[in-house]
Structure 1
């Protein structure tokens, strides 16, 4: 098996499990978890925010760990952390232990991306790196898409589902330890901070707001659609499947940016995200449209993560990993703040008002994409390809 195929397959599985299952599946099963543990919307939002907080913590250390211990060790650690977190969710007897487990599971996503990027650079021929990275990047959407049918097949048995997900994560850890390369390691890590100029602050604000807006559906989409459709667990499973399927469109982000420009793609897909949030959650929109809204959301979210990756790298062309990390970290910080806020608004004001507010947050983020005029010409025109999945 060629290095590209081996690393692509392991990376695809790792991203699918860490992002699609360990991080985002909590929102899919939230109605059943809420019914069993009596969380309520506000507490559910706080716990969901813990998953994004776990990502924030982990991504700050993952690149350093990869440089110090190598891609194989950190990727294996990511799979094991995902498995431990999801096993904890399956066994959690109360909201406190559930919250801790959700945070641990969410941390696996922050650990996963840097080692896979390092493995591709170290072991895959340059002409095959883009294809390998594209394969890995597709893991998020596929992981989200398959979690829906799994939930439907298990008839809402969320503990059994997370137990099965944990077993998959541990098996993937064994594969990572066996198949990934041990990349070169270094004992020192750069300590200088990038320059936080006006353009960088625009990126930080836009990614924060986009991350916050996205939690309306990542954390509460399943609950919203279950309230509007009378399909029981099938409604949540269907929503997750169409979100994942829509996300496959995000693989075209690089081509869209090359054709239409970063600013146009950014503005357009934030408008699509705003529309999708309103379509899924607002009672003013016909209920059958909710699933179409889920597909639009998946396409918008994955495309926007690609946009922010390119934006971050263009801002710091001499430190691309740092630009990527800043963009993805601020998305997760926004998600950490957005989930509790949406939960509180949902409990206090209902779905119409809460989805309208969060659709407005997405529109506000679109207004912060006027960054090209802030960049020198050399930073506007640099071309980059998207490596691995974002938050």
Structure 2
């Protein structure tokens, strides 16, 4: 088996389990968990805030540890953290312990991505790195798409579900130890990344995209409930469509190689901007579900674009390059969610949806390469030829 296929398959599965099971499955089982353990508003707030904080701390720590310990050790650690967290959820006797376990499980998402970027840089030939990275990143959507049917198939058995998820994570820890290289995939660096032009523009673009995405990630269920009268089944179907659409994000590397980062960036920001009103305006069942699939494809494709952008901006520090974009997306989501809520409360859902579609388009103002950088690149190519 080629390194690209071996690392790609392992990374895809690891990302799917960490995101789809360790992080997002909790929301699907929340009504059952609440019915048994009686979660109150304070514990729910602790879980929400703690999940974000855990992700941010974990992804920064992962980038640092990957540069020091290597891809294999950190990826195995991510799978073990997911297993421990999900086992804790399955065995939790009280709301507080449950909250702690959810935060631990969710932090595995931050740990998992940087070592995969380093593994790809270390062992995959350069021409296949972008494709391999974006295929791995598409595991997010596979996990989201799988978690919905699993939740429906074992309704009422949330402890059994999380116990099984923990077992799968343990298997992936073994697979990561066998399949991934120990190398760091770059120079042993440290500290903050250089704030050069591509990195600054990456931060701006990913922040705005992250903020725009909260229109559906945070409020999509509420919007379809209010505008369409959909209950949990309809919302679950929307989420499945988002997950299935996002699997196409694995093509980001291929599209970037053919059309360039900026063209792919602009195209999928446009699709995200279109998908937000398709879901948020309540135009009917078919447009809403199609909008969900388009949103999923656009979101995962754009995270793939920022992954490639970051690893190209910091080629000697691929784990840190990935971390910059993904961390900034999360910060943008943290800022975007309360802003959407304020606009929604003050002006209504229609203006809020329109405003956030505009924010998605605004992210397109930031290019992966400036005009001067592209000119220098062409001059270098001419000199070499």
Report the TM-score, using the length of structure 2 for normalisation. Answer: 0.80
CA–CA separation in structure 2 for the residues paired with 1:12 and 1:364: 31
CA–CA separation in structure 2 for the residues paired with 1:266 and 1:23: 27
Conserved 8 A contact 1:27-1:48: no
Secondary structure at the aligned position of 1:375 is classed as: helix
Show the 5 A alignment for 1:149-188: 149-155=149-155, 160-183=160-183
When structure 1 is superposed on structure 2, of 250-259 and 349-358 the one drifting more is 349-358
Conserved 8 A contact 1:271-1:362: yes
Show the 5 A alignment for 1:1-391: 3-29=3-29, 47-48=47-48, 50-90=50-90, 99-123=99-123, 132-133=132-133, 135-155=135-155, 160-183=160-183, 189-191=189-191, 193-197=193-197, 200-227=199-226, 232-283=231-282, 285-316=283-314, 319-342=317-340, 351-369=349-367, 372-373=370-371, 375-378=373-376
CA–CA separation in structure 1 for the residues paired with 2:221 and 2:380: 39
Compute the displacement of 1:185 (Å): 10
CA–CA separation in structure 2 for the residues paired with 1:89 and 1:350: 37
Residues 349/305 of structure 1: CA separation in 2 closer, same or farther (3 Å cut): same
Residues 258/15 of structure 1: CA separation in 2 closer, same or farther (3 Å cut): same
Compute the displacement of 1:52 (Å): 3.6
CA–CA separation in structure 2 for the residues paired with 1:45 and 1:363: 31
CA–CA separation in structure 1 for the residues paired with 2:79 and 2:177: 10
When structure 1 is superposed on structure 2, of 54-63 and 222-231 the one drifting more is 222-231
Structure 1 residue runs without a partner (length 5+):
384-391
RMSD of aligned alpha carbons:
3.9
CA–CA separation in structure 2 for the residues paired with 1:149 and 1:175: 25
CA–CA separation in structure 2 for the residues paired with 1:220 and 1:90: 28
Q: What are the Cα deviations for residues 186-230 of structure 1, in whole angstroms up to 9, with x where unaligned?
A: 996434640344x54332122111112223333443454455556
When structure 1 is superposed on structure 2, of 228-237 and 31-40 the one drifting more is 31-40
Q: What are the Cα deviations for residues 258-310 of structure 1, in whole angstroms up to 9, with x where unaligned?
A: 44443333233222212222222334x22442211110111111111122233
Secondary structure at the aligned position of 1:190 is classed as: coil
Secondary structure at the aligned position of 2:194 is classed as: coil
Compute the displacement of 1:110 (Å): 1.8
Q: What is the number of equivalent residue pairs in this alignment?
A: 380
Conserved 8 A contact 2:119-2:184: no
Report the TM-score, using the length of structure 1 for normalisation. Answer: 0.79
Conserved 8 A contact 1:14-1:112: yes
CA–CA separation in structure 2 for the residues paired with 1:371 and 1:128: 21
CA–CA separation in structure 2 for the residues paired with 1:144 and 1:80: 20
Secondary structure at the aligned position of 2:173 is classed as: helix
When structure 1 is superposed on structure 2, of 337-346 and 239-248 the one drifting more is 337-346
Conserved 8 A contact 2:238-2:292: yes
Conserved 8 A contact 1:68-1:186: no
Residues 312/218 of structure 1: CA separation in 2 closer, same or farther (3 Å cut): same
